[in-house]
A and B are shown apart, each in its own frame.
Chain A
Amino acid sequence: MTEREKILARVREALKVAAPLSGSHGAGSTTVPVATSRRLADWQGTFGTTPNAAGGTPALPSSARQWLPRVGESFEEQLALFQKNAAELKADFQLLASRDELKTALAKISAAENWKRIASHRGELTDSISGALNLPIYFTDKNYNVHELETCDAGISECDALIAQTGSVLVTNRSAGGRALSVLPPHHVVLARREQLVADLPAAFELLQQKYAANYPSMISFITGPSRTGDIERILVLGAHGPKKLTIFCL
């Protein structure tokens, strides 16, 4: 037998005895059969009110959305929430009316931080915006050298979504120029469109499924504020290993 077979055999042997649900203090051990159903909704149908043997309260929660932090329904509410979350996370969020405005805002940061060279990837937004800086651009769409990327002052990328609930930016290595562009340079600039704003995490996962289910990118990342640590006396420091600054431009 291979180790795989041995481990799976031990797992199957162990699962012959049903486990009580957490919180039932062992009282439910004989009343809950091992569910053959995959999900909890099915569960409810199969076992009626028995799953929580000790507590006895039925009505199993079926989706995460109804318990997670509340998000307003309108675009304005969601935008305001994203803005508030971004500010708390110490990310710079700017809503801009036009591409020209965006170019001006980006040029301002570039001048203030004295950028010499930037990194980016090919994309409809990145192509039209990054080029306007008149700086050398290092592209990460194909084989590239990490040492070169490391010397860039900023990484400019697109994204898959902005999530109002948490102030997160959803990127994949397909949408945002690989695995390292959004994390190696000291400043990560995200170029997003208004219609990319989604309400909450469940919506973000729905979007991932719709967009990629046939062939998922090998990296999917929720970026929630600039890199941080609290490992020294639990005091917040930004820029632990990833970017010290995260700027989100939204058109």
Chain B
Amino acid sequence: MTFVSQFMKQARVMVGDLRHRKIIRAALGNYEIARDQRKASFQSWESARRLAAETKWDALNHLDKYLVEFTAKIEARGTKVHWASTAAQARTIILQIVEEKKARSIIKSKAMTAEEIHLNDALEHAGLNVVENDLGEFIVQLRHEAPYHIVFPSMHLTRGEISELFQRELGSAPTNDPEELTMIARRALRKKFLTADIGITGANFAIAETGMISITENEGNARLTAALPKTMISLLGIEKILPKLSDLALFLPMLATAGTGQPLTCYNTMYGGPRQPGESDGPDEWHVVLLDNHRTELLADAEQRDALHCIRCGACLNVCPIFRNIGGHTYGTTYSGPIGSVITPHLRGLQDWKHLSNASSLCGACTEACPVKIDLHHHLLQNRRNAAAQQPTLKEQIGFKSFVQLANHPKLWAFAKKFARLTQPLQKLVKGTRLDPGYHWTQTRDLPDFAPETFKDWWRKRK
């Protein structure tokens, strides 16, 4: 099955799934209220967005310089930096570290980049035990599922489903209390934290000026991942760069506001190296893996370069009518929602993933929501244009060529209109069936009736 037919099939199921719709509405309703309150507390959210966008513009458009600065600074503190052009290279680098350390147990805090390179599969394939320690990620890992949403991985599940999952996988007692469920996971994961050989994290920002990464989280799982195991590995895309440490004064509250409607998430932590002389804890070794994986291709597309501004807050997913109706898994991608539809064609092939750019109402809610002002819905249009220019489909070619002929020949045009008006009643007989030429449109919609006479005819008679 192709990606597009898989997408169409699942989307059709999901849009009719009222239970799913109810869960998503409830989850996002509270988010919207909190987010709007937080936005309103800014002296000017709009100006903050502009400053954020311009800071990211600066970072991306001098990326070479900042990457060199970042790595020089972070290496000076004893961190080992690795560069990976592809997902496969990144997996190999990490597997090598794990093998060298003879690690048996690995804990991992939430990292979308790791999802992107399918790191867990690779580790498990090598016979290693890797446990996600963000609660939502832990839940979807137990279900052998991809995260549903880049910020809220288990948003599509009810407490009942989670309780059943925990009973089955962890042998816990049934409960309907979110707090008890959280404590079950806490107890199960605490043991893993204390015994893990390696901790793997992602990063939200990489600070060039001081050579640090910054991790934003709520649970404390990333803090523990960076504190307890003897070896730490952080995987991040090369686009995570921010020029200065003080830029975080803007980006941390904006990420929290757009992402979850919090003033600041519970833990925002900057790491500048492994355990330093005189420090009492932290990893002895820290490996930072910088991942390209087609990011430089997106960087080369100046028109869409700002898609690399993305701070993965998920705000565009939350407001997107498509995401809310078809759900996160339907996309079949690591990054879903508008930002996923924009970047996936760059990361995984335009022709295979162009359908995501068509699955949009172009309402622009995403562009409006983006804290770093990515031109999301324009990029969807650009993807459509690029896909058609690169490889026009036969159907579209014939369609447009015929239209050109019609529109250039007034007599043919007049005939076509007359023909259409006369045959429209016949269409009603086959409406929505495969016999209907307008099948794709009419299976869920009505076709408006042609007017009894054309404007031209009416105008002529009027004289």
Contact = CB atoms under 8 A, between A and B. Distances in A.
Q: Do A and B come from one complex?
A: yes
A195 B276 CA distance: 29
Interface residues of B, number: 115
A223 B221 CA distance: 13
B355 interface: no
Given A67-B47, A242-B223, A19 B55 contact: no
B139 interface: yes
Contacts of A43: 54, 58
Given A19-B303, A240-B135, A240-B186, 17 more contacts: A24-B375, A34-B62, A40-B55, A61-B48, A66-B43, A67-B48, A68-B48, A167-B263, A173-B281, A180-B228, A201-B248, A201-B250, A221-B268, A222-B264, A224-B263, A232-B181, A241-B190
A25 B158 contact: no
A67 B54 CA distance: 14
Interface stretch (B1-9, B23-31, B389-397, B416-424): B23-31
Nearest to A170: B268
Contact of B159 (A23, A40, A168, A232): A232
7 contacts: A11-B238, A19-B305, A22-B57, A34-B61, A183-B224, A223-B266, A243-B220
Query: In this complex, which of B60, B224, B238, B372 has the most chain A Cβ atoms within 10 angstroms of its Cβ?
Result: B224
Contacts of B245: 205, 208-209
A233 B178 contact: yes
Interface stretch (A97-105, A129-137, A142-150): A142-150
Contacts of A17: 300, 302
Contacts of B26: 233-234
Contact of B266 (A23, A38, A40, A242): A242
A8 B89 contact: no
B220 A232 contact: no
Nearest to A65: B249
B249 A220 contact: no
Contacts of B219: 227-229, 240-242
A234 B27 contact: yes
A222 B296 contact: no
B179 interface: yes
Interface in B287-313: 290, 292, 296-297, 299-300, 302-303, 305-306, 309
Interface string A4-46: 1011101111110111111111100100001100111001000
A217 B154 contact: no
A69 interface: yes
Interface in A229-251: 229-235, 237, 239-243
A78 interface: no
Sorted nearest first, the 5 A-B pairs with minimum C-beta distance are: A242-B220, A240-B219, A179-B227, A14-B300, A231-B136
Interface string B316-350: 00000000000000000000000000000000000
Contacts of B276: 217-218
B120 interface: no
Contacts of B157: 232
B281 A179 contact: yes
Contact of B51 (A10, A12, A64, A179): A64
Interface in A98-145: 140-144
A229 B182 contact: yes
A197 to B, nearest CB: 16
B314 interface: no
Given A3-B84, A68-B249, A217-B272, A60 B224 contact: no
B300 A241 contact: no
Interface string B60-73: 11111001100100
B20 interface: no
B301 to A, nearest CB: 8
A82 to B, nearest CB: 12
B223 A221 contact: yes
B21 interface: no
Contact of B282 (A14, A52, A179, A234): A179
A184 B299 CA distance: 41
Contact of A241 (B82, B155, B189, B282): B189
B450 interface: no
A23 B373 contact: yes
A237 B182 contact: yes
B43 A70 contact: yes
